[in-house]
């Protein structure tokens, strides 16, 4: 293992980010964009005023600096700095002016101080005075370079660095998965269903709710004895999965999400908004998996299951009593199982009806 410290100015780092030589794809990290405008503005203000910032931790895979490198800790800071450098946002309007002291020497070699004050409130990077742009670009960040670490050691380092950070339980579940499994869950998150149909707000995605939804689905597909769908129970499942990886379960879950996207009725904004939320998605995955286990002598085609979902979304999830299990206490095991059983009952009745129509 190798550990060393180096200083890099922001101009260098941003150039490396442009060339994709500095990445932020380490699976156990939180999504970018966790900070609000006030936090982002304060970071820029700190740099322009010359304050110290915490170190950045980077995993170095090769022997040459930044070839390639992955950020372990400091993602929010670096992505914020990069976005600002690219005019991605303007600073908040309550920031004080910045004063820069320039020291020169007169003919007698006596120091002469000259102070200049610059306004930064509400400005983007390109709107800053050129002197401030230079201050920003030349600001040096202290970087801790890690090389030769095992995944387990990196995970432990990440946990220790963020021990005081405010993680949501969904984000903690991602950390508990470990690097390898978190990467595999990330592949499911990137599938077309979550990209184009699943209804999650930007805040939910930042808070790790998509990961939580996938893990809840896996809880239903496995023999895990879950006590509820609460966030703490999802963390417990993530820990168990880390201790006893089930790659077959992960592959099955990925296949089912891809299948679900294919059999969904055509996009309808209101229907998707109401029926493809986090509370319903694990139930849909469980129901899709149930088709093979129905005690009915009938194999549903994809088109027939699409028709079932269309009727379920339009009528049956309301008339069947399903929504009664979506009210207060919906994460409780009894409510979760109530949703599963109600939808399965409708699916079985639908399949029986098809058998009867075929016989007639």
Integer Cα distance of 346 and 33 in angstroms? 41
Residue 170 within a domain: no
- Tokens of residue 313, six digits: 């979304």
Judge whether 322 lies within some domain.
Answer: yes
Give the gyration radius of the chain's Cα atoms: 26
Give the C-alpha separation, 5 to 245, whole Å: 35
**Residue matched to tokens 């322009």:** 48
Sheet holding 22-23, edge to edge: 2-9, 140-147, 56-64, 67-73, 22-23
Q: Does a structural domain hold residue 78?
A: yes
Q: Encode the chain (360 residues) as per-residue pLDDT tens digits.
A: 678 888 999 999 999 999 888 887 666 666 666 788 888 999 999 999 999 998 888 887 655 554 567 888 888 899 999 999 999 999 999 888 998 877 777 777 777 777 889 999 999 999 999 999 999 999 999 998 888 776 666 666 776 776 655 566 667 677 778 878 888 999 999 999 999 999 998 878 877 889 999 999 999 999 999 999 988 889 889 989 989 999 999 999 999 999 999 999 999 999 999 999 999 999 999 999 988 777 666 778 999 999 999 999 999 988 999 999 998 778 889 999 999 999 999 999 999 898 888 765
Report the predicted TM-score, pTM, of the whole model to 2 decimal places: 0.60
Asked if residue 205 and residue 82 are part of one domain, the reply reads no
The pLDDT assigned to 210 comes to 92
224 in Cβ contact with 237 (< 8 Å)? yes
66 plus 141 within the same structural domain: yes
Q: Is residue 173 part of a domain?
A: no
Q: Tens of pLDDT along 83-103?
A: 999 999 999 998 889 988 777
Render 227-255 in DSSP notation, one character per residue.
SBSSHHHHHHHHHHHHHS--HHHHHHHHH
266 and 338 fall within a common domain: yes
Whether residues 62 and 49 share a domain: the answer is yes
Shared domain check, 311 and 270: yes
Q: Is residue 139 part of a domain?
A: yes
User: CA of 353: how far to CAs of 317, 320, 323, in Å?
Assistant: 18, 16, 23
What pLDDT, on the 0 to 100 scale, is given for residue 305?
Answer: 94
Residues 238 and 155 in one domain: no
Tell whether 236 is covered by a domain.
yes
The total number of structural domains that make up the chain: 3
CATH of the domain at 68: 3.90.1530
Q: How many CB atoms lie within 10 A of CB 158?
A: 19
Q: Are residues 115 and 139 in the same domain?
A: no
Q: What is the pLDDT of residue 185?
A: 92
Q: Are 337 and 299 in contact (CB under 8 A)?
A: no
Residues 70, 122 within the same domain: no
Domain residues for 109?
98-131
pLDDT value at position 110? 76
| 58 and 145 fall within a common domain | yes
Regarding whether 238 and 322 lie in a shared domain, the answer is yes
Q: How far apart are CA 60 and CA 154, in angstroms?
A: 12
* Rounded CA separation 183/219 (Å): 18
Q: Are 6 and 132 in contact (CB under 8 A)?
A: no
Kindly give the pairing relationship between strand 140-147 and strand 2-9: antiparallel
How big is the CA angle at 286 (ends 199 and 195), to the nearest 5 degrees?
Answer: 25
- Which residues does residue 101 pair with via DSSP β-bridges, in sequence order? 115
Phi (first) and psi of residue 62, to 5 degrees: -105, -165
Rounded-to-10 torsion of CA 189, 225, 324, 252: 30
Does residue 111 sit in the same domain as residue 7?
Answer: no
Q: Are residues 44 and 114 in the same domain?
A: no
Q: Does residue 126 lie in a domain region? A: yes
For residue 13, tell me if it sits in a domain: yes
Q: How far is residue 98's CA from residue 117's CA, in Å, rounded to a whole number? A: 6
């Amino acid at each position: 293992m190798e550990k060393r410290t180096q200083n890099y100015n922001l101009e260098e780092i941003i150039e490396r980010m442009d060339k994709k030589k500095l990445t932020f794809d380490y699976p156990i990290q939180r999504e970018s964009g966790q900070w609000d405008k006030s936090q982002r503005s304060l970071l820029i203000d700190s740099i322009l005023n010359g304050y110290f910032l915490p170190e950045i931790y980077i995993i170095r895979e090769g022997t040459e600096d930044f070839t390639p490198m992955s950020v372990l800790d400091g993602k929010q800071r670096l992505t914020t700095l990069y976005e600002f450098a690219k005019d991605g946002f303007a600073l908040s309007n309550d920031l004080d002016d910045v004063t820069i002291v320039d020291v020169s020497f007169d003919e007698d070699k006596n120091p002469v101080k000259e102070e200049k004050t610059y306004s930064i409130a509400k400005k983007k990077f390109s709107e800053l005075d050129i002197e401030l742009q230079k201050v920003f670009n030349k600001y040096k960040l202290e970087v801790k370079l890690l090389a030769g670490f095992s995944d387990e050691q990196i995970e432990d380092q990440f946990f220790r660095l963020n021990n005081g950070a405010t993680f949501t339980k969904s984000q903690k579940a991602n950390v508990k998965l470990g690097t390898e499994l978190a990467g595999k869950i990330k592949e499911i998150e990137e599938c077309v269903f979550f990209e184009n149909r699943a209804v999650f707000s930007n805040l939910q995605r930042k808070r790790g709710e998509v990961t939580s939804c996938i893990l809840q689905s896996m809880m239903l597909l496995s023999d895990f004895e879950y006590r509820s769908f609460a966030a703490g129970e999802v963390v417990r499942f993530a820990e168990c999965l880390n201790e006893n990886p089930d790659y077959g379960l992960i592959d099955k879950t990925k296949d089912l999400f891809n299948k679900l996207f294919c059999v969904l009725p055509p996009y309808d904004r209101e229907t998707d908004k109401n029926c493809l939320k986090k509370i319903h998605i694990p139930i849909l995955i469980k129901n899709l998996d149930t088709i093979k286990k129905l005690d009915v002598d009938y194999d549903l085609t994809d088109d027939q299951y699409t028709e079932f979902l269309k009727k379920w979304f339009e009528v049956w999830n309301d008339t069947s009593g399903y929504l009664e299990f979506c009210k207060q206490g919906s994460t409780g095991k009894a409510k979760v199982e109530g949703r599963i059983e109600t939808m399965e009952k409708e699916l079985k009745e639908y399949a029986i009806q098809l058998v009867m129509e075929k016989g007639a």
